[in-house]
Structure 1
Amino acid sequence: MRWPRRRTAPVVVVLAVAVALVAGGCTSGGNDPGPAPTLAGGAAALPGPVPGGLALRPAPTDSPVAPRVAGTLTDGSPLAVADLWAERPVVLTFFSSWCTTCAQRQDGFSELARGYRDRVVFVGVAGEDEPDGVQAYLREHRVEYPVVLDDTGTIWRSYAVREPPAVVVVAKGGALLRGWPGGVDAAALDGALRELVLAP
């Protein structure tokens, strides 16, 4: 007696496809990394709207014009610094993650920048450095303002910075008010901003 031939091939194919779909679903769902972490110093750190009623001192008419520079933030976003000082004063802090003096003063700058949030924009300019080192530095010192990676040293040269740290204050409109080769501490910078930038 001949037994009827069983149709196993289609059943096997269907089972194989089902297993592949389930496995694929588990794999893609389980390995989904989710959104990438936000890089410190990127576009998310750019200032919000200028606060209403912000009173600023007029810049001296004999002040030189600050170099108009542009660069790339830590997350790859472009930044023209003149776009920032078109609306409010800007503080440029030139630093490197390996600079001991920079690290000693950075916590004070971070706190000062938070205090002046949206009234005065702080912009870090990292040079002679690596992106990973800069990120570690920014996170350790809670830097919440935008940071340009000056890989070529173009911005540093534009402001005659030879080594970190250095700090520059630019008035609204782009007048170069004050610079500190070798840097300055947060208390002295705060005093200078009140004297040169903010109206009483």
Structure 2
Amino acid sequence: MRRALAALLVLFTLVACSSEPQRGGRRELPGPVPAGVSYREARGAAAPRFELSLVDGTVVSTEDLWRERPVVLVFFSSWCGQCGRAQREFTELAARYRDVVAFLGVAGRDSEADLKRYLDEHEVNYPVGKDDEQQSAGRRFALREPPLVAVVAKGGALVKGWPGGTTAATVDAELVKLVART
């Protein structure tokens, strides 16, 4: 009886661990915009739209994301040292703006294993997908080499982009201009 119970416990543990959702997948997508949040209008050129398959296979459209809220696009690669150094601050910023602003990571030129390791190591808490072989999403934003960060207002106006990356504090300053809380 004890052996059967122990075997069931081991089986349950294996199933529970293997069914744990992967970082960067659909569970990281924003929920409804919280009550009391509104957005200021922003002017600018229309941001390039693209679809991206998240690490769990869920397909997201940037147009759908910025229909309801501003979006921060974080283009990175696991092998980019500057990306890794800035990631903790972006993870913290994404947590602070949870459901108010959508963050979307776009990984380029990464293997599945390297990307998973990066997401786990840096505890990335927002959805992430791999750019295709042609780097289509990155090309739309004139990305030559990661990092690149872009802020898109609700509705799709490109507010600001930083080829070569920037700090989370700089992105936060742009978001403060876009988000109104009552």
Q: Which residue of structure 2 lines up, in the alignment, with residue 49 of structure 1?
A: 32
Taking every aligned residue pair, what percent have the same amino acid on both sides? 49
Shift of 1:31: 6.2
RMSD of aligned Cα (Å): 1.9
Distance 1:42 1:199 in 2: 28
**Distance in 1 of aligned mates of 2:141 and 2:149:** 10
What's the CA shift string for 1:25-56, capped at 9, x where partnerless?
9xx96767414331110111111111112121
TM-score, scaled relative to structure 2? 0.88
Conserved in 2, the CA contact under 8 Å of 1:129 and 1:151? Answer: no
Amino acid at match of 1:175: A
TM-score, normalised relative to structure 1? 0.81
Distance 1:44 1:117 in 2: 12
Equivalent pairs counted in the alignment come to: 172
Letter matched to residue 94 of structure 2? A
Q: Which amino acid aligns with 1:181?
A: P
Instruction: Please list, as runs of the form range in 1=range in 2, the aligned pairs for 1:38-117 lying within 5 A after superposition.
Output: 38-60=21-43, 63-117=44-98
Secondary structure of the corresponding residue to residue 49 of structure 2 = coil
Which ranges of structure 1 fall in alignment gaps of 5 or more residues? 1-24
Deviations 1:50-93 (A, max 9, x none): 11121211112xx1111110010001111111111000000000
2 CA distance for matches of 1:109 and 1:151? 23
Give the greater-gyration-radius structure (CA): 1
Q: Who is 1:181 aligned against?
A: 163
1:145-189: CA deviation from partner (whole Å, max 9, x where unpaired)? 000111321100111111100000000011111000000011111
Whose relative contact order is higher, 1 or 2, with alpha carbons under 8 Å and at least 6 apart? 2
User: How many Å separate the matches in 1 of 2:136 and 2:107?
Assistant: 11
Gaps of 5+ in 2: none
Map 1:158-197 onto structure 2 (within 5 A): 158-195=140-177, 197=178
Deviations 1:83-118 (A, max 9, x none): 110000000000000100000100000000000001
